[in-house]
């Protein structure tokens, strides 16, 4: 597909009539679950510049969520904060690099990741199609909420300035950045790299690579479920969340991305509701999305929106 | 060149392989219809490695008359093991027998032992015989033995691919005809850990911050895993994936490994692009295995 054709790609996803009602119900359910945060200092992972903590909190469906929380040892006053969200296969890292840049940082392991899989563990491959014919039990229903509640955790921290919270991640973390920014208005700036979970049904036609190929595998074995699958995924598609995003928002994509088709990145960008939005499209790059060449710009973006607003 | 090579290196690994040989693989094979299609079938294998420890692997078999060239994927530093790597064209399963192994501690092989990330890299690190990667290396050898035992596999075209464990496997096991290796963990490890601050190597500096007195023991253990000492055993045609120019593991940084390989390897320096790097590797493998044009994902064509 040529670049102009990619840029004009129109997603096939339709927004369900009851999209807001559905997610409103989920949020109501989540609001009834106390966070019960627990923060344990990790002497092993802390170093002279950064305090590291193991974090746990409750989410819906009685699932206990884990994370890593870091803060710079040297600080004066409240800190801006970054929520980092993980990719599909990898384990969430310890976000020391953000702390070294002067942020409090939380890296969340949503349900099914290693330290959050005691109650829910569909496996990899598997997560993407777990209960995919039922929006009320689909894996990402809870998974999204787990990420969103990372904001609630940050708000419990005395050292965090709740008015200066940013969100970022790549791949699945990019998709979660979209939904988190849309559903949590506390987010003041966000950067989504090579966003996954945006244009699911488009992607299974545009590429035949895993993880999206999990859906094609499922449909091959269960051809009669296609309508139900498409219906479910519409509730979880980042493109359908994007119009709710009001904060400054950056998306970066690779035009040769073999995992998350760039066409869906363009469709997502058009759907983002924020007036302050920017897209970096890197030619010659795959799922790395050219991040290496724009790291200074990305850092400056957060510095402007999260540090520039120093009270 | 051999400065730093443990005096007991050969004996250490001979013992590990002897221990492995004590346990028959006792392979169980189960079809996975969900991930099978007209052009290939996927199976889940369970088998035994040293310990004894029960492991898991995905085995993909192309439809049609074999034997087929094979791609053996050594585990990376991650809990997840996939039938084929994320982002690879799923159609490669119609050309190659594919084998990806979950070594001890990884998902599907995480009972009774579940590896932690971070944590695995320093698990048992003060004792070479207790270091978790000793067993993991044996697991990788067992996996390649099982792959090569399959009648569908063309034994003259077996490509072992991955990170450090790919080279260790090709060195310790028979039958790797081609090797694609991107060193990251077990090459001048202490030096790399001390000069950087990123995970997973930062696990070692974390560990030594807590136990500074263990530095000598840690260094001794890691010296048994340095790729430079395995390299002379590698007979496979080799592609080394180096880091980007200017990085610690660029071509010049890997020179002592390059020099230690008995056959001059091809060396590719990363262009910091999954696309360009991936294209090079796919093309190299396809060409070296005599398969003609590579099978590429849609957005690379």
Domain limits of chain B?
A: 9-288
* Beta carbons within 10 angstroms of residue B108's beta carbon: 18
In the predicted structure, residue A193 carries a pLDDT above the cut 70: yes
Q: How far apart are CA B258 and CA B264, in angstroms?
A: 7
- Confirm whether A222 is a catalytic residue: no
Report whether A109 contacts A70 (CB < 8 A): no
DSSP-derived letter for residue A272 is -
Phi, psi of A309 (to 5 degrees): -95, 30
* Chain A residue nearest residue B93, CA to CA: A209
In the predicted structure, residue A310 carries a pLDDT above the cut 60: no
**Among the partner residues B37, B118, B273, nearest to A286 by beta-carbon distance:** B273
pLDDT at B234: 98
Contacts of B35 in chain A (CB under 8 A): 125, 217
- CA A69 to chain centroid: 17
What average pLDDT does the segment A255-277 reach? Answer: 98
* Chain B residue nearest residue A287, CA to CA: B274
What average pLDDT does the segment A105-124 reach? Answer: 96
State whether B275 and A91 contact (CB < 8 Å): no
Percentage of chain A modeled with pLDDT above 90: 97
Contacts of A202 in chain B (CB under 8 A): none
The residues that bridge with B41 in the sheet, in sequence order, are B61
Residue from A5, A89, A101, A225 whose CB has the most chain B CBs within 10 Å, to mutate: A89
pLDDT at A311: 38
Closest C-alpha among B288, B13, B5 to residue B141: B13
Question: How many residues belong to chain B?
Answer: 301
State whether A44 and B207 contact (CB < 8 Å): yes
- Confirm whether A42 is a catalytic residue: no
Q: What is the CA radius of gyration of chain B?
A: 19
Sign of the Cα torsion A300, A305, A307, A308 reads: positive
- Confirm whether A257 is a catalytic residue: yes
State whether B297 and A209 contact (CB < 8 Å): yes
State whether B86 and A292 contact (CB < 8 Å): no
**Which residues of chain B, if any, have pLDDT below 70?**
1
Sequence spans of domains, chain A: 3-304
Q: Can you name the CATH fold of B9-288?
A: Rossmann fold (3.40.50)
The helix (run of H) or strand (run of E) holding residue B48 is: strand B40-49
Q: In what order do the strands lie in the sheet with A249-254?
A: A38-41, A50-59, A63-72, A104-109, A79-85, A160-170, A187-193, A249-254, A277-282
State whether B34 and A218 contact (CB < 8 Å): yes
State whether A208 and B37 contact (CB < 8 Å): no
Residues 191-210 (B) with a CB less than 8 A from some CB of A: 197, 199, 202, 205-207, 209-210
* Chain B residue nearest residue A213, CA to CA: B90
The helix (run of H) or strand (run of E) holding residue B160 is: strand B153-162
State whether A258 and B199 contact (CB < 8 Å): no
The active-site residue, picked from A11, A257, A274, A305, is: A257
Residue from A217, A254, A261, A263 whose CB has the most chain B CBs within 10 Å, to mutate: A217
Q: Tokens for A308, please give them.
A: 């520039």
* Chain A residue nearest residue B208, CA to CA: A44
Q: How far apart are CA B79 and CA B141, in angstroms?
A: 19
Pairing of strands A38-41, A50-59: antiparallel
Contacts of A261 in chain B (CB under 8 A): 298-299
Residue showing tokens 């990788």: B140
The residues that bridge with B61 in the sheet, in sequence order, are B41
Contacts of A218 in chain B (CB under 8 A): 34
A142-168 residue pLDDT tens: 999 999 999 999 999 999 999 999 999
Nearest chain B CA: its distance from A92 CA (Å): 9
Q: How far apart are CA A85 and CA A67, in angstroms?
A: 10
Contacts of A114 in chain B (CB under 8 A): 79, 114, 116-117
What average pLDDT does the segment A263-287 reach? Answer: 98
Q: On the CB side of B244, how many CA atoms lie within 13 Å of its CA? A: 6
Q: How far apart are CA A217 and CA B39, in angstroms?
A: 13
In the predicted structure, residue A60 carries a pLDDT above the cut 90: yes
Options 3.40.50.1820, 3.90.1310.10, 3.40.1210.10, 3.60.70.12; CATH of A3-304? 3.40.50.1820
pLDDT band at A3 (very low <50, low <70, confident <90, very high): confident
Q: How far apart are CA B133 and CA B168, in angstroms?
A: 11
Q: How far apart are CA B94 and CA B92, in angstroms?
A: 5
pLDDT at A2: 83
Contact of B84 with chain A, judged by CB distance below 8 Å, is answered with: yes
pLDDT at B196: 84
pLDDT at B1: 57
pLDDT at A278: 98
Q: How far apart are CA A117 and CA A115, in angstroms?
A: 6
Contact of B91 with chain A, judged by CB distance below 8 Å, is answered with: yes
């Amino acid at each position: 597909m040529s670049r102009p054709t990619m840029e004009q790609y129109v997603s096939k996803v339709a927004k369900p009539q009851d999209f807001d009602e559905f997610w409103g119900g989920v949020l109501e359910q989540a609001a009834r679950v106390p966070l019960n945060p627990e923060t344990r200092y990790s002497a092993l992972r802390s170093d002279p510049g950064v305090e590291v903590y193991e974090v746990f909190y409750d989410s819906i469906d009685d699932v206990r969520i884990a994370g890593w929380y870091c803060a710079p040892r040297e600080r004066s006053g409240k800190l801006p904060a970054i929520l980092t969200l993980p990719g599909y296969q990898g384990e969430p890292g310890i976000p020391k690099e953000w702390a070294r840049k002067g942020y409090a940082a939380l890296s969340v392991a949503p349900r099914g990741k290693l330290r959050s899989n005691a109650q829910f563990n569909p496996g990899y491959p598997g997560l993407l199609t777990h209960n995919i014919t039922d929006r009320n039990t689909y894996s990402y229903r809870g998974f999204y909420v787990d990420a969103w509640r990372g904001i609630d955790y940050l708000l419990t921290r005395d050292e965090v300035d709740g008015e200066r919270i940013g969100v970022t991640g790549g791949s699945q973390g990019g998709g979660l950045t979209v939904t988190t920014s849309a559903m949590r208005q506390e987010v003041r700036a966000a950067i989504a790299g090579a966003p996954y979970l945006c244009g699911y049904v488009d992607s299974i036609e545009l590429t035949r690579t895993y993880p999206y190929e999990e859906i094609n595998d499922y449909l091959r074995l269960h051809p009669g479920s296609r309508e139900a699958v498409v219906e479910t995924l519409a509730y979880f598609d980042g493109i359908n969340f994007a119009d709710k995003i009001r904060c400054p928002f950056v998306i970066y994509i690779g035009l040769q991305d073999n995992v998350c088709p760039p066409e869906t990145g363009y469709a997502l960008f058009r759907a983002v509701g924020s007036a302050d939005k920017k897209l970096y499209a890197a030619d010659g790059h795959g799922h790395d999305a050219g991040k290496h060449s724009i790291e200074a710009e990305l850092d400056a973006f957060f510095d402007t929106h999260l540090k520039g607003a120093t009270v | 060149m051999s400065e730093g090579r443990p005096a007991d290196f050969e004996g250490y690994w001979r013992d590990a392989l002897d221990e492995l040989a004590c346990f028959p693989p006792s392979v169980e094979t189960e079809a996975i219809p969900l991930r099978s299609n007209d052009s290939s079938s996927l199976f889940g294998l369970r088998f035994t490695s040293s310990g004894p420890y029960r492991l898991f692997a995905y085995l993909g078999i192309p439809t049609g008359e074999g034997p087929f060239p094979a791609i053996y994927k050594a585990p990376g530093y991650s809990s997840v093991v996939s039938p084929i790597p994320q982002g690879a064209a799923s159609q490669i399963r119609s050309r190659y027998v594919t084998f990806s192994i979950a070594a001890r501690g990884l998902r599907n092989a995480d009972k009774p032992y579940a590896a932690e990330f971070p944590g695995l890299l320093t698990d048992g690190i003060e004792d070479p015989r207790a270091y978790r990667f000793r067993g993991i290396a044996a697991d990788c050898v067992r996996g390649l033995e099982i792959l090569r035992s399959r009648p569908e596999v063309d034994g003259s075209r077996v490509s072992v691919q991955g990170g450090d464990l790919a080279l260790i496997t090709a060195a310790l096991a028979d039958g790797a005809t081609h090797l694609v290796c991107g060193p990251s963990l077990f090459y001048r490890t202490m030096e790399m850990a001390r000069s950087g601050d990123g995970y997973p190597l930062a696990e070692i500096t974390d560990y030594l911050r807590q136990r500074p007195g263990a530095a000598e023991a840690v260094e001794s253990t890691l010296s048994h895993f340095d790729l430079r000492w395995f390299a002379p055993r590698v007979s496979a045609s080799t592609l080394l994936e180096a880091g980007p120019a200017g990085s610690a593991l660029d071509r010049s940084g890997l020179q002592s490994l390059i020099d230690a390989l008995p056959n001059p390897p091809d060396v590719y320096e990363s262009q910091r692009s999954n696309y360009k790097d991936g294209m090079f590797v796919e093309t190299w493998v396809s060409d070296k295995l005599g398969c003609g044009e590579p099978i590429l994902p849609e957005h690379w064509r």
